[in-house]
Structures are given as C-alpha cells and as structure tokens.
Amino acid sequence: MALIVHKYGGTSMGSTERIRNVAKRVAKWARAGHQIVVVPSAMSGETNRLLGLAKELAPAKPDTAYSRELDMLASTGEQASSALLAIALQSEGQPSVSYAGWQVAIKTNDAFTKARIQSIDDQKVKADLNAGKVVIITGFQGVDDNGNITTLGRGGSDTSAVAVAAALKADECLIYTDVDGVYTTDPRVVPEARRLQTVSFEEMLEMASLGSKVLQIRSVEFAGKYKVPMRVLSSFTPWDIDIHEEAASGTLITFEEDEQMEQAVVSGIAFNRDEAKISVLGVPDKPGIAYQILGAVADANIEVDVIIQNLSKDGKTDFSFTVHRNDYAKTIDLLKEKVLPSLGVAEVLGDAKICKVSIVGIGMRSHVGVASKMFRALSEEGINIQMISTSEIKTSVVIDEKYMELAVRALHKAFDLDQA
Amino acid sequence: MALIVHKYGGTSMGSTERIRNVAKRVAKWARAGHQIVVVPSAMSGETNRLLGLAKELAPAKPDTAYSRELDMLASTGEQASSALLAIALQSEGQPSVSYAGWQVAIKTNDAFTKARIQSIDDQKVKADLNAGKVVIITGFQGVDDNGNITTLGRGGSDTSAVAVAAALKADECLIYTDVDGVYTTDPRVVPEARRLQTVSFEEMLEMASLGSKVLQIRSVEFAGKYKVPMRVLSSFTPWDIDIHEEAASGTLITFEEDEQMEQAVVSGIAFNRDEAKISVLGVPDKPGIAYQILGAVADANIEVDVIIQNLSKDGKTDFSFTVHRNDYAKTIDLLKEKVLPSLGVAEVLGDAKICKVSIVGIGMRSHVGVASKMFRALSEEGINIQMISTSEIKTSVVIDEKYMELAVRALHKAFDLDQA
C-alpha cells in the first residue's frame, strides 16, 4: 500500500464526463489498496471566465489591483471542481471528501494572486485516509494568517499537488495531464520527438524555465526541495487500463543521477517566442553601466532574462537583454524616458521577432564541445545567432523567430534525440 | 449615520453591467455617510448551473445524498458574486472587502443544504465598517462547528441578510429585488393591485407562507424574532435616484401596529396552485383516526397543509387534507398500501387541480364578518368552496384551480384593495 497524490489539470476536469472518468480512475487506485489524495484544477475555461468578469468590472488594472478579491473569485473554480469530483467518487461507491485550501489548512503568505505555500497541516487528511476515504484538496489556493483566501498563480495546482505530496510524505505524485509525458521536444514541431522515460529534476527545472509547458516551474522546484518523486502521465488513457502499466507510464522525474543519464548528453530541446530583445547602443563603457540600465528596468518590476554586453570599442559598448514580449513597449519607453538622457548619446533598438532555443542535458556537465556542436548545427542551416546564454546544464541561443522550427529540428537531429 | 444592510438577489447581480449598477448604488449610500453591509446572491442561473453539473454526476439521489459536497459546490456561486461586487466597488473608488460565510464567521448547524444560522461574529465586520469599508458578506452560506461549508437552502440569501442585520443591530435591512415592493396581490393577475407602503410582520409571514414569493419565509421569521426593520424595494430604479426617495420606496415591514393598519381589514390576497387535495372517504368516526391517517403521511416526511374532517354520518366520516403537488402521487400510494387496509372500507380520492386563495389582514383580529364577506364574493361568482382554513389574521379557501384568477380579482375588489 502506498500513499499517492494524483493531480488532474483543467482539461482532464473539463466536463462532467471527464470528471466521471477521473473518478473511475481514482476509484481503481483506491480499490488496489492505495491511499489517494487528489488535487484537481478548475474545469478548463472556468478561471478565465471568472477573471474575465473581473476585467469587465475593473478594466483599468486587472492584474495588480483588487488582488485579494481576485483570489476570492478565482479560488471558487477549484472548489467547485473538487466538490464535483467528490460527488462523482461517491456516486462510484468510493467514500470521499473535498477540502478547500483553508480547510486543510494550506497556509501561504499574503502575496495575493502569487502566494507561496508556507505549511500544510496533514492531520485531517491523514485521519480521512485512514478511514478509507479518498481526500480531494483544491489546487491553486491556500489561506493566509489573517484568514484571507490566496491563490498561487497560474499553474499553481501543480505546486499544490507537490506541496501536499511533500507534507504527507507521499510515495509518488502523479501529474495527470493532456500529454503523455515529457518529450525530447514539442512533437508538434518535431514529429520524431521521443517521450523520455525519466528526466532528472535539474533538467526538468531548466526545461520548465525555458518554456516547456508540461510542468509549472515552481512545482518542479518544490519537488526538488522535498525530493518528491513526480511522474507526468496522460489522463486520456482509458481509466480501466492495468494499474501497473499506468504506474509505469509517462515520464518520471528523478533525483538520482544514474549511469544511463550520464550517457545522454542532451535530453531535450526547449524553445519559446515569449521574449523580445532590446539593445542600448553606444553606451559609455564604465563601471555601473549595467546597473544604470537594468536597475531602472528592475524597479519597474520587469523581469530580464538573457543579458549580454559586447566588447568595448573606443570607450563605448553595446548592451543587450531580453524581456517578456508583454513588457517590450513599456521597457523601450522606460529606457527612452528615464535612462537614455543620463547616458548621453546612447540609442535604443528593439526586436520583438526573436525566439530562444535551448539544449538541456545533465550530461553537459561532464562533456565538452556540446555548445560548439549546437552552434555548428545552426550554422549549417544558415541561422544567425544573436545572443548566447549558458548554464551548467543548458545552452540557449536567441535567433530570428522565423527560424525557430528549423533550429529545433536541426538540433533534435544533431543530438540524436530521435534515437532511443 | 445609520448602519444599513443591503441584500441583492440573483437577478440584480445577473451580469457585470448589473453588478456595476449595484456597486454605484451601494457607493452612493456609503458616500451619504452610512455604514453599509451588502449580502449578494449568486449571479442568476449560477446555482442551477452548478447543481445541474452535480446532477449529471450523481443522477440517482441528487437532492439528499452528497449533501456536504453539494454545499461545497453551491457556495461558490455567492463567493464569486461577492468578490465581483467588491472589485466593482473598488473600481468606483469605494473601499470594500468581501467575506465568505466561514470568514465572518456565520456559524450554522450541520444540516447540509438546509442549515440554520446559530451565531454571527460581528468583530471583523464592525472593524471594517469603522475603517470606512463597505463589507460584502456572501449570502446563503455558513460554516458548521467542524469547519464544513453549509448552505441555508433556496432563498437563503434573504435569511443571511436579515441574520447579519440582526447580529449587527442594523437600523434597516433593505431587500433589493426585481419587484418594487409587496403588493395587495400579484399585479399579473389583478392589474389594479396596489403596492403596500407598509405591511405588518405577521401579515408578511402569512403572505410568504401562503405563496407570495417576494420574501423567503425564514427571513421574515428571523426579522420578526429579532425585530429587524426590513424593506423590500426595487434594484431596477436608476442607481442615482435621490437617496431619500429611495429610502422611502418599496414596502416597509413593520412591528408596530399603528392606527392606519387597524383600518385596513384585509391587506392582501395570496394564492398558489402548489397543492393537491386528498380525501379519504367512509372512515370510521372514532378517536385516533386523524393520527392513523396523517401519522403515516408525516412519517414519510410529507408536509400536510389544510386539514378538514366532515361531520359524522352513520358512524362514518370523510377526511380531507392537502399536500404539495410533488408529493401527491406518493401520498396516494402510501395511503392505499399502508393505511386503507387497516381502515376497512375506506376509499381514497384525489384532486391535483385545486388552488388555495387566502385573504390576509391583521385587522381581521378586531373585525367580524370578514370571512363571510369573502364567501359571499366567491358565491356571487359561482365559485364552489371545497375546503376552508382560518387563522387569526387570514382565511384560506381551496377551490377548483380554473377559478383562481377570477377568485383573486373578485376578492381584491370586494375588499376595496384597489383603493389607496
């Protein structure tokens, strides 16, 4: 008998028919003798519907103001889907109970709309599990010290599930989703993309941060911190599939670096076109210049990703960085108004039509020449590299967005990712 | 400065445009220097939508089983509308905060789907009011001693509002709805029906129990118990109507029997066709017979309204009563199976095509001949009376349902209700 946490995304909970399927699957696991805690997302579309209503009422500052009330509002989606799942389970003859975040309680700080989990009380949940009930805990939400409802931000149900698994010392946290695992890259771009049977926690962390949308990055961080074994698998297999087959399906996120992993130099290719590039040209090359430019950007709460500074020439240098495309225009305006005047002759250029492509692999630590192999593959396709950023287990390049698919396919082939 | 509770029904909260109107109206009251607590219902249709999903998942016993989870589910509707109203108020520049029932807390017993309020903590609410905030409290819901969410049953938002007004010792509880007050009878049946400026609590209680749908009966009971002045008024007047005009509009439910009221013998005509008549014929006229028949009905949780027993003839009598139409077939079956065999030759007859028409008036206490005036008016229209039931301030008759409108119009005229 194991204690297992199941997490179901919004698509898996998207209709009463799908909720019934989730209930049958969960009941199967319970009948097999396991203690099961389920963390469901809101039915797909529900969170957007609710926040859309809020936006109609407060068009001015939909994302930042009214945040306490936005959390009161958005948290209802998960509460409703959790209750519906409890009803479906009871209808299947499986005793169950649903709890909102505050009922468990899942304590968070008071950073509304992006709260962080601080503690989870396992008392009620353990008692219900020992009484033979499936326990359903709303994802995405918690409660602060003053009894206000908080939410964890988009994708927060993944984080809830891992945090619950950590608090309960669960044997495994199964993330059921609409894909059947983590792939070497997006199969919509590279049809030969392969599902990985295992991926290391650190690789998963890089992939999540680089734009692979399978798992929310904070949930991976949480899993890493508390060493929660986590598996990504499909909720669209038939619910009555053999339980041992199901338990071994998908992709397991591991914490041990076994020998097999050492052999795969690169595990996957991540990419996104969420960013825009901004260059400040002709900047005086003197100490404090990076802070002068990026300090103003940071003060405006704009996140910066890749940063490069060119070699100096005639005491002048060029300084480039990327921001999220949503912040592009705002950043350009900010630089022109607040930064350029104090820099003298500097000029700002921007390009929103870029993408970032990255190779990720824990094996890069112990292998040389991986980056140069990447650059050669791109060069053979005639793709110009605009920016480069590296870490211990990944190398990212910024290129023209029109080459994105071409670059991903070329790299997938160059690193033999289509070979098992 | 007064402390005033506003309650808005589902229709008044039915769209973001209507929520914005509610916000503007509430902000007007707050700007006039009043402390305002708002109790909103769920957006119209939302509760039905949620319970419809539950019904799809558990078709067998939708109303009785799974009741804890049904409350988890249904309570989300009011939480969402409360948060939306808080956002709309803040967008109007009016500080506000919304609380779910458990946050206040509104403590109830654990009778899920039909819980009763036991206590309301006014600490948080008073502090927020004193800080200049409009406080929004979800209607329809509370929390039991074990931290489970409960709901108060259909129309429970009225009860929440009155209970909150009682706990806060509010100066008045304004029930905003889609009608502009309490009428002498339904204006759809009698175009000459007049809005009452005041109605006594006892008359309102009778009208609510007799089928007038303006207020939920439990809210009127609550108002009576705690002497909460309660006003029914329209949420569809322009929000910027003069506040003194608005404060005097609608119908005030009063507790003092002033002289004016003594003059109006009959205040209103109530009617419904929710009931069905059942007669048990040829019953032996001996002690215990009423219990023998109605005891079995009560044991099956079927509520009985009007009861009459004819004069005995040859040691036999006829026994008639009315039940809700939904319970009609069930009651007939029950009598045939469990009661008739032990009564000997008794026979059961039923009639679902009846209606109940009632005259209500606190003045009936001190006036004679009111009932006979009613019977004469009906007789003049050739309407046969099947059953009669009286109390201190109302007289009800059961008649063929095809005469309902005719009877209501005749009585409205006979008692001069069209005259101010």
SS3 B197: coil
Residue in A with minimal Cα distance to B82? A73
Phi, psi values for residue A356, rounded to 5°: -120, 130
User: Among candidates A120, A123, A200, which has minimal Cα distance to A163?
Assistant: A120
User: Among candidates B379, B329, B373, B384, which has minimal Cα distance to B351?
Assistant: B329
Q: Does the structure show a pLDDT above 80 at A389?
A: yes
Tell me, yes or no, if A16 comes closer than 8 A to chain B by beta carbon. yes
Of B53, B88, B102, the CB nearest to A57: B88
Given this model, what pLDDT does residue A100 score?
97
Chain A residues 102-121 with a CB less than 8 Å from chain B: 102-103
Q: Do B87 and A57 touch (CB under 8 A)?
A: yes
Chain B CB contacts of A65 under 8 Å are 90
Distances (CA, A) of A322 to A168, A275, A348: 40, 6, 13
Best to test chain B binding among A43, A57, A151 (most B CBs inside 10 Å): A57
Given this model, what pLDDT does residue B62 score?
47
pLDDT digits (tens, 9 = 90+) for A351-372: 999 999 999 998 887 777 888 8
Chain B residues 29-68 with a CB less than 8 Å from chain A: 50, 53-54, 56-58, 60, 65-66, 68
Tell me, yes or no, if A98 comes closer than 8 A to chain B by beta carbon. yes
What was the ipTM of the complex prediction? 0.82
Given this model, what pLDDT does residue A50 score?
95
Q: Does the structure show a pLDDT above 50 at A122?
A: yes
Chain A CB contacts of B83 under 8 Å are 54, 69-70, 72-73, 76
Q: Do A79 and B65 touch (CB under 8 A)?
A: no
Q: Which CATH number fits domain B3-256: 3.30.9.80, 3.30.300.90, 3.40.1160.10, 3.40.50.150?
A: 3.40.1160.10
Best to test chain A binding among B13, B19, B20, B73 (most A CBs inside 10 Å): B73
Calpha distance A297→A330 (Å, rounded): 10
Q: Does the structure show a pLDDT above 80 at A238?
A: yes
Chain A CB contacts of B87 under 8 Å are 54, 57-58, 66, 69-70, 73
Q: Do A72 and B57 touch (CB under 8 A)?
A: no
Given this model, what pLDDT does residue A261 score?
47
Residue labelled with tokens 């109790």: B39
Where residue A178 falls among pLDDT bands split at 50, 70, 90?
Answer: confident
Given this model, what pLDDT does residue B264 score?
67
Which is higher by pLDDT, A244 or A153?
Answer: A244
> Considering the domain A259-420 in this protein, what is its CATH number?
3.30.2130.10
CB B288 within 8 A of CB B325: no
Tell me, yes or no, if A123 comes closer than 8 A to chain B by beta carbon. no
Q: Does the structure show a pLDDT above 70 at A136?
A: yes
The ranges assigned to domains in chain B are 3-256, 257-420
Chain A CB contacts of B66 under 8 Å are 86-87, 90-91
Where residue A58 falls among pLDDT bands split at 50, 70, 90?
Answer: confident
Calpha distance A60→B122 (Å, rounded): 33
Given this model, what pLDDT does residue A288 score?
78
Q: Does the structure show a pLDDT above 60 at A63?
A: no
Could you say which DSSP state residue B336 is in? I
Q: Do A79 and B76 touch (CB under 8 A)?
A: yes
Q: Which residue type occupies A113?
A: T
Distance to chain A for B61, nearest Cα, Å:
9
Q: Do A66 and B91 touch (CB under 8 A)?
A: yes
Distances (CA, A) of B127 to B52, B90, B132, B143: 39, 18, 9, 21
Which is higher by pLDDT, B82 or A208?
Answer: B82
CB count within 10 Å of CB A380 equals: 10
Number of H helices, E strands in chain A: 15, 20
Of A23, A50, A98, the CB nearest to B80: A50
User: Any idea which of A243-247, A315-319, A335-339, B196-200 has the lowest mean pLDDT?
Assistant: A315-319
Between chain A and chain B, the number of residue pairs with CB atoms below 8 A apart is 115
Distance to chain A for B92, nearest Cα, Å:
9
Chain A residues 125-184 with a CB less than 8 Å from chain B: 147-149
User: Among candidates A44, A6, A1, which has minimal Cα distance to A24?
Assistant: A6
Residue labelled with tokens 């003298």: A344
In CATH terms, the superfamily for domain B257-420 is VC0802-like (3.30.2130.10)
Task: Tell me the Ramachandran region of residue B191: left when phi exceeds 0, alpha when psi lies from -120 to 50, beta otherwise.
Answer: alpha
Given this model, what pLDDT does residue B374 score?
92
For every one of its 420 residues, what pLDDT tens digit does chain B have, with 9 covering 90 and above?
Answer: 899 999 999 999 999 999 999 999 999 999 999 999 999 999 999 999 999 999 999 876 644 568 999 999 999 999 999 999 999 999 999 999 999 999 999 999 999 998 999 999 999 999 999 999 999 999 999 999 999 999 998 778 999 999 999 999 999 999 999 888 999 999 889 999 999 999 988 888 888 777 677 788 888 888 888 899 999 999 999 999 999 999 999 999 988 655 454 456 899 999 999 899 999 988 888 877 888 888 889 888 888 888 888 777 788 888 899 999 999 999 999 999 888 888 877 789 999 999 999 999 888 877 778 888 999 999 999 999 999 988 888 999 999 999 999 999 999 999 999 886
Q: Do A83 and B147 touch (CB under 8 A)?
A: no
Alpha carbon A128 to its chain's center: 31
Alpha carbon B121 to its chain's center: 25
Tell me, yes or no, if B92 comes closer than 8 A to chain A by beta carbon. no
CB count within 10 Å of CB A23 equals: 25
Tell me, yes or no, if B88 comes closer than 8 A to chain A by beta carbon. yes
SS3 B2: coil
Of B73, B77, B83, the CB nearest to A69: B83
Chain A CB contacts of B79 under 8 Å are 72-73, 75-76, 79
Chain A CB contacts of B68 under 8 Å are 97
Enumerate the β-bridge partners of residue B149: B143
Best to test chain A binding among B84, B124, B146 (most A CBs inside 10 Å): B84
DSSP-derived pairing of the beta strands A316-324 and A275-284: antiparallel
Sign of CA dihedral A43, A45, A48, A49: negative
pLDDT digits (tens, 9 = 90+) for A253-299: 988 655 454 456 899 999 999 899 999 988 888 777 888 888 889 88
Mean pLDDT of chain A: 90
Q: Do A65 and B90 touch (CB under 8 A)?
A: yes
Of A19, A50, A58, the CB nearest to B91: A58
User: Among candidates A339, A324, A353, which has minimal Cα distance to A281?
Assistant: A339
Distance to chain B for A408, nearest Cα, Å:
43
Q: Does the structure show a pLDDT above 80 at A420?
A: no
Alpha carbon A383 to its chain's center: 28
Distance to chain A for B5, nearest Cα, Å:
20
